[in-house]
Amino acid sequence: MSEGFVIYHNPRCRKSRESLALLEEQGIKPEVKRYLENPPSREELKLLLAKLDLKVDDIIRKEEKIYKERFRNCTFTEDEWLDVLIEEPKLIQRPIVVHGARARIGRPPENVLNLLK
C-alpha cells in the first residue's frame, strides 16, 4: 500500500472503480475500505468531514432510493445524520479518498488526483 492513502470504496460503483484505477495508474495502492461492509464509525465520519472540509449534508447521496423514501423531508441535526449514515452507509458519497490530513470525493474521479499535489 502507498503510505497514507485510503479509499472508501464500493466496487459496484463505476466512479469508485475509476478513482481507484486512477490512483493505481499513479503507482498508488491505497488501503481499500469497503464501507458498505464495514461502515465508518461516528468518529471516523467526523474526521472524514473535517478532512473534506464539508458538512454532513454535503456527503449524503440524495438521489438514492432509500434517501427519497425515508429521509428526503427530514430535518436532522448533524449528529442525527451521522447516525443515519452509520445505519445506511449506502447514503455516503463515494468514493472518498484520504491522504494524510486531506480528503476528496471522487466525483468526478479526477478529483482524487488533487491529493497528489
- Give the residue numbers marked as catalytic: 13
Could you tell me if 104 and 111 are in contact, meaning their C-beta atoms sit under 8 angstroms apart? yes
Cell 440524495: give the residue. Answer: 62
Q: Which residues pair with 5 in a beta bridge?
A: 99
